[in-house]
Amino acid sequence: MNTRSCDTDVLVVGAGPAGVAAAVMAASLNLRTMVIEAGPVGGKLHRIGALENVPGSWSTGPQLAEALASDLDRLEKAGRCTVVQGLAAKVGGHDHRAELTLADGRVLTSKLIVVATGVSDLVPPDATWITATAELSAPPLWRAAPQDLTARTYVLGADRPLGTWLRSHPNVRTTLHVLCPPSDAYKATEIEADGRVRLVPISHAAITKPTYGGGWTIEVEEHDGTKTIYAATSVLNNLGNKPAAVTGLVSGDDGYCPPDRQHRRIRIAGDLRSARYQRIATAHGSGAEAVLAYYYDISLSGGGGIR
Ligand SMILES: Cc1cc2nc3c(=O)[nH]c(=O)nc-3n(C[C@H](O)[C@H](O)[C@H](O)COP(=O)(O)OP(=O)(O)OC[C@H]3O[C@@H](n4cnc5c(N)ncnc54)[C@H](O)[C@@H]3O)c2cc1C
């Protein structure tokens, strides 16, 4: 297949901050651009109640998500980008094209695919330091309203949304009991000075339902082997995330997809690149760079633009 007969020039998978930046950059280079998104435009931005590290005076994630959706809308109306709702299942790179297969069986071809699918939530069965009964319900901390909390609300893990939640609710006085395994210790430094957090350093937690009464029993084992039993009225999930890679990408041992190990027609942007640098500003930068790097690779090799 000649690249001229591809469905589009650039296919972007995922419309979070990385995917939208890639699409905006591609359209600005006059490349035919198509975005495939399974949910709402903005990705994880919809979960961020308070923002302070993104240039542009955005104070919440949903505000920025709305602006990104307007950007794509503007490009669509100008005929420079198409947004397709769909779940990407598989990507493949070939000499003259890249190919994307959607979960519903549709196949799309392009000259370049930028994969920016981010990360998905870890759940208790994914965490080796937790043993829990299958009936455990642990809704995400990021979604918890202050009125959902009690003096005996326990949080599983000290991942970064904890800091965001505390900043989003500066007037909440309830103490959050946070079970913190060694792997999360470095993340906890961001919030350990906040008096509303009680960090419980642990090596293992067993969560069961008591025979009588509501709530949960949490048997915690500390690093020195000491065991303590807590009664919790509710348990919230703040375990962090795992890469949302699609089939066909090259992954490292940790499941992330290093950009420099992919086929030359497939580029990775945003959180999916690595457990490091998971921030909005770096997602934007990496999305734009993924497209621009490919564009210049091709033009500098004599192609006079993407081909
Ligand atoms: C609670 C919380 C608070 C945070 N607070 C901050 C903060 O204050 N400051 C900061 O800089 N960062 C913060 N972050 C991190 C920030 O949100 C991410 O770094 C950023 O959103 C990553 O952008 P992304 O485009 O790589 O991925 P995402 O935002 O995750 O977007 C990925 C998109 O891909 C879509 N997708 C996934 N799989 C598929 C598929 N197979 N097919 C089609 N579409 C798919 C998803 O629906 C999603 O829209 C926070 C994250 C969370 C969860």
- CA-CA distance, 159 to 151, in Å (whole number)? 21
User: Residue 128 in contact with residue 202, Cβ under 8 Å?
Assistant: no
* CATH of range 3-121+241-303; options 1.10.357.10, 3.20.20.70, 3.50.50.60, 3.40.630.30: 3.50.50.60
3-state secondary structure of 291: helix
Fold of 124-237: FAD/NAD(P)-binding domain (3.50.50)
Q: What is the arithmetic mean of pLDDT over 127-137? A: 92
**pLDDT for 307:** 62
pLDDT recorded at residue 303: 53
70-88: pLDDT as tens digits: 999 999 999 999 999 999 9
- Map residue 17 onto helix, strand or coil: helix
Q: What atom of ligand 1 comes closest to residue 142's alpha carbon?
A: 1
Atom of ligand 1 nearest to the CA of 167: 8
Atom from ligand 1 closest to the CA of residue 20: 25
Please tell me the predicted confidence (pLDDT) of residue 213.
Answer: 73
Give the pLDDT confidence of 40-49 residue by residue, as tens digits.
999 999 999 9
- Using alpha carbons, list the distances in angstroms from residue 174 to 34, 74, 139, 154: 46, 44, 18, 11
- Is residue 305 very low, low, confident or very high in pLDDT (cuts 50, 70, 90)? low
d(CA 228, CA 76): 57
Is the confidence at residue 304, as pLDDT, over 70?
no
Residue nearest atom 47 in ligand 1 by C-alpha distance: 39
Distance CA 299, CA 307 (A): 9
Tell me the average pLDDT across 152-172.
Answer: 94
Over the stretch 147-158, which tens digit does the pLDDT of each residue have?
A: 999 999 999 999
Where residue 184 falls among pLDDT bands split at 50, 70, 90? very high
Domain boundaries in the chain? 3-121+241-303, 124-237
Q: Which two tokens stand for residue 38?
A: 């399974």
Ligand 1 center from residue 154 Cα (angstroms): 25
Q: Let me know if the fold of 3-121+241-303 is the same as that of 124-237.
A: yes
Look-up of token digits 């695919």: 113
Ligand 1 is surrounded, with C-beta below 6 A, by 13-19, 36-39, 43-45, 47-48, 51, 53-54, 87-88, 116-118, 142, 161, 164, 244, 246, 270-271, 278-280, 283
- Confidence grade of residue 297 (pLDDT, cut at 50, 70, 90): confident
Q: Is the pLDDT of residue 306 over 60?
A: no
